Every structure is written in structure tokens, then in C-alpha cells.
Amino acid sequence: MIDFETPVLKEYPIIPLIQPGAMAHSKPYVAKQDLQEKIGFPGELIDDWQEVAIKKMGELVSKSRALMVFLDTCVKCGACTDKCHYFLGTADPYNMPVARQDLFRDVYRRYFTFAGKHFPKLVGAKDLDKDMLDLWYSYFHQCSQCRRCSVYCPFGIDTAEISMAAREILNTIGVGQKYCNEIIGKAQTIGNNLGLPEPALADTLEGLEEDIEEETGVKVRLPLDEKNADILLVTPSADFFAEPHVDGLIGYAKVFHAAGLSWTLSSHASEASNFGLFIGSYDNMQKISMRIRDAALELGVKRIVFGECGHAWRVAYNFLNTLAGPFDFLDQNYPIPQNISEVTYDLIQRNALTLDKSANDDKVLTFHDSCNVARGSRMGDVAGGQFIIPREIIKATCNHFYDMADDTIKEATFCCGGGGGLLTDDLVELRVKGALPRMEALKQVVDNHGVTHMVAICAICKSQFSKVMPYYGFEMDQVISLHQLVGNAIVLNRSE
Ligand code: SF4
Ligand code: SF4
């Protein structure tokens, strides 16, 4: 276990003095042989790894024009250097986005540019040797693929895409990360990240139905594998049991119940998260996406709705149709797929829900934008809908809401520090330090407005904050699901 000091919360923003090598020790556990092979990669570092890695890099660059442009375009203007939460929290210069990109770019130059091939020293081109491989493993697992740096780059260079490509190459030569690959394996074979089989899921849902009835006196159902329901809800498996996620699931159930919408969960597609994104593997992303298509067909639903999860929504919004479509068997009058927040917002707009804001009067709220929603996807059919919709839901369900400072929200939002496949205990130092800018922005709104709770719409953000908030002196139950607020405020008809 590595000893580390939690950074001290300061006046935001403070740019740290660089500390070379400060996080060189930070590396996630490497995936074991059986795990690697289970999801289609070599079990350990292969003999001809350099050759294979360069070949893979060539394939990725020729397939993705964007990746090539990102590698060719940087003018070293420095605008991104202080925009990464991991740099702000660790002071390690390799956590400056441009330096992280250069780990990849220098190798790309060496093998794919004329100058790099013939005058490598002159243009800073570098061999992909064992030292470089170690740097890649360490620092491409210190990027949560949040895309914040791309917002500030005059050319929109997206370090997230470069990190994904690097991780795909690492996996291709047999150096995968244990946490992500374990989860991908479980989602592909059992249907969810936690490895919850159907009976455990059914028991959990039954228990939740009893809890809701005890609390409200109303029978609200959480149906599983119900054929011919209108809506298939695909939600992160954390929603089935862990606080604060489960209160979100109860909120979705109450929304469907109050609006008279028929819905079901699926034991085959009991996971919205898709960790294939984090390792840049479209094959693995597709396998998980196909389970959702198969479940929708098997159950005969008309709509697919995703629960609260940032990266699941990024994959669904951007890729579900191409990876697992066409979804021509669904009702084309609704977006395919749809986010639960869009469903709730639409019902609120149409006055189809009765909401009592005073039910949340014991809380003063702020909102954390999920990177994958803010910068990786959209919601609704108006520009900026992904920022408007959650805030409008909060305002409709509580009386006391204060946003954090403008330069820390919406498209400038700071990552929670646990995204991109880094939500693992072997990276806890990185996670705590990477949360620093968000914790500083939170402290400001706590001090200025007496905020007591932070609302989130992403399972990873919720888990990450629950873990790191105590390090900064906040209570772990101060992060709550958006649909927990809705669930608290919704007035159910007792005669039902
Ligand atoms: S994508 Fe996010 S985590 Fe990665 S370098 Fe950019 S700001 Fe840092
Ligand atoms: S902001 Fe863009 S162009 Fe400037 S150094 Fe960073 S990546 Fe390069």
C-alpha cells in the first residue's frame, strides 16, 4: 500500500509547481493470462511486441483520420497544460495533456514520419522500447479520458482518443489492465459488471419493491424479463444494490409507475456500463452492446432507456446504433436510445408527474456534470440539452440549488477523478489527488451557500465521490443520484 498525503484544499485555481516523477509509481494491476485471453487478447507480453505494437499503431492511425490529425497538429502552445485534474492534483508533468500525448506522438513520429525515421533526435522521435512501454502503462492509466483538455485546445486535440488508442495497443501486445478487463469479461459472460446472476437480481428487485411499499404504501413494481413491456431499462449494475445508486433506481421505478409506463429490466442485459470504451476496443464494446439488442428483441420492447451512467450514455448515444443496430423493430417516435433524464424531463414538461419540492427541503444542492455527458454526448433535442435537462429536473424537485463556479461546470466540468477505467483501489492515490479540483470547487459552494449534497448522474462519479470525499473532510453520503431527488419528490397515488 502506497502512503500518500491528501492534497490540501486551496483557493481555486492553483497551478502546482511541477514535480517530475511524482506519479511514476502509479500503475494499475496487470490482467492475468486467463483474463486477457477471455476477452480476446494475448495472455502476456508477446515476444515480437514492438513489431506488433507498431503495426497496430499504423492500423489505428490509418483507420482514424481524427487520431492522425491529433498526432500531426499540436503546435505546443501550452493551452492544455494546466487543464487536467491529474496534473493539478499530482504536479507530475507527464499528467499535462500535451506531455501525455507526446508519449504516443514521439513513437508515432519515429515510425510513421520521414523526419522521425531518418533524423529521430532532431524531431524528438523516440523508439518504442521497454522504458517507453512502462511510461505508457503508467501514464495512459492516469487519464480518465474526460476530454476536458480538448475543450481548451485551439485545435480540439482530444487526449482521450490518444489514451484509448494507447490502451488498445497495450492490450494487443498482452499488457491489459486487470480492473477493466475483469469487468468486460463479466459483462460479456454474465451480463453485468458485478457478475450478479438472474436469481440474485430477482431477489434484489423483490426486496426493493417491499422497501418502496413500506415507505410509500404503494406497490411500485421493478419487473425483470417481462415480455412485451414498452420500455427496456438498461442501467449500471451498481444501481441494484449500492448507495447512493439504488435510490436512483427506486426513483426511475417511481417515475415509470407514476406515468403509467410499462417497463422491464433484463437479466441478459443487466448492465449499461461498457468498459470496452476505456480500453479502446470496439470488438468488446460491440459484444456488450449486442446483449442489449438481443434482450430488446427477445422481450419485444418498443423503447430502450438508459439509467444514470455517464460513459454508458456516451457509448449508447454515439455507438449503440452502429455497433448493434439497426433498431428498426423499436418505436421510431422515440430517440433510440433514450436517457432516463430525458424521459423524466419530458414528463415534467408535460405535467405528467406530481412533484412536492419540499420533500427535499432537508438538502441544499449542487450538481456535478459527468464528463461523458457534458463532453462526450448530448441529451434532448436542443443545444446544450445535456446541461439543461439535469438542472431543470433538480429545480423541479427541490427548493435549494446552487451551481458551482462557471469555469468548473458544463463543458468545463472537472472530472471526478475515477472515470476512464480508473475506479479501482490499486489507483486510489491517483483518484484522491485527481479529485482535488472538483473538491475545491465543491468547498467553495459549501462555504458560500451552505450546500449539503452534490447530485450526480453517473455511477462512476457517485462511486468515486463516495470513496474520495472523506479524504477531503466531506461525508460520503453527501453525493446523491438525480433520480433520488425525483423519487423523494414524486407524489404517488395511494389508491393504486
Ligand atoms: S482527457 Fe482528461 S484526464 Fe486525459 S489528459 Fe485530458 S484532461 Fe487529463
Ligand atoms: S492545447 Fe492543443 S496544440 Fe496546444 S499544446 Fe495542448 S494539445 Fe498541443
pLDDT tens across 140-161, in order? Answer: 999 999 999 999 999 999 999 9
Which of the 8 DSSP states describes residue 387?
A: H
CB within 8 A of 277, min separation 6: which ones?
145, 164, 285, 311, 314, 315
Q: DSSP string covering 484-495, please?
A: HHHHHHBPP-TT
For the CA of 100, the closest atom of ligand 1 is: 5
Q: Which of 84, 155, 159, 162 to mutate to test the pocket of ligand 2 (most atoms within 8 A of CB)?
A: 155
**pTM score:** 0.96
Instruction: Taking residues 197-206, report their average pLDDT.
Output: 94
Q: Which ligand is nearest to the CA of 167?
A: 1
Confidence band, pLDDT 50/70/90 cuts, at residue 7: confident
Confidence band, pLDDT 50/70/90 cuts, at residue 107: very high
- 3-state SS of the chain: helix, strand, coil percent to 5? 55, 5, 40
Gap between the Cα atoms of 365 and 260, Å rounded: 29
pLDDT per residue as tens digits for the range 436-460: 999 999 999 999 999 999 999 999 9
CA of 95 to the centre of ligand 2 (A): 13
CA of 137 to the centre of ligand 1 (A): 15
273's grid cell: 456500463
pLDDT at 496 over 60: no
pLDDT at 377 over 80: yes
pLDDT at 3 over 80: no
For the CA of 147, the closest atom of ligand 1 is: 1
> Which residues partner with 233 through β-bridges?
305
CA of 66 to the centre of ligand 2 (A): 15
Instruction: Taking residues 351-358, report their average pLDDT.
Output: 98
CB within 8 A of 378, min separation 6: which ones?
317, 385, 386
Burial 125-140 (b: 16+ CB within 10 A, else e): bbebeeebbeebbbbb
For the CA of 158, the closest atom of ligand 1 is: 1
Instruction: Taking residues 337-346, report their average pLDDT.
Output: 98
Domains observed in the chain: 33-176 (1.10.1060), 184-402+451-489 (no CATH)
Confidence band, pLDDT 50/70/90 cuts, at residue 338: very high
- Within 352-426, residue ranges assigned H as helices are 371-374, 385-397
Q: Which of 67, 80, 148, 159 to mutate to test the pocket of ligand 2 (most atoms within 8 A of CB)?
A: 80
How many helices (H) and strands (E) in the chain?
Answer: 22, 7
For the CA of 86, the closest atom of ligand 1 is: 8
Residue type, position 76, single letter: K
Per-residue pLDDT at 14: 78
Q: Which ligand is nearest to the CA of 148?
A: 1
CA of 111 to the centre of ligand 2 (A): 22
Gap between the Cα atoms of 42 and 47, Å rounded: 11
Q: Cβ(146) to ligand 1 under 6 A?
A: yes
**Percent of the chain clearing pLDDT 70 (strictly above):** 98
pLDDT per residue as tens digits for the range 386-422: 999 999 999 999 999 999 999 999 999 999 999 999 9
- Within 350-384, residue ranges assigned H as helices are 371-374
pLDDT at 329 over 70: yes
> In whole numbers, what is the pLDDT of the chain averaged over residues?
95
Ligand 2: list residues with CB < 6 Å: 74-80, 97-98, 153, 155, 157
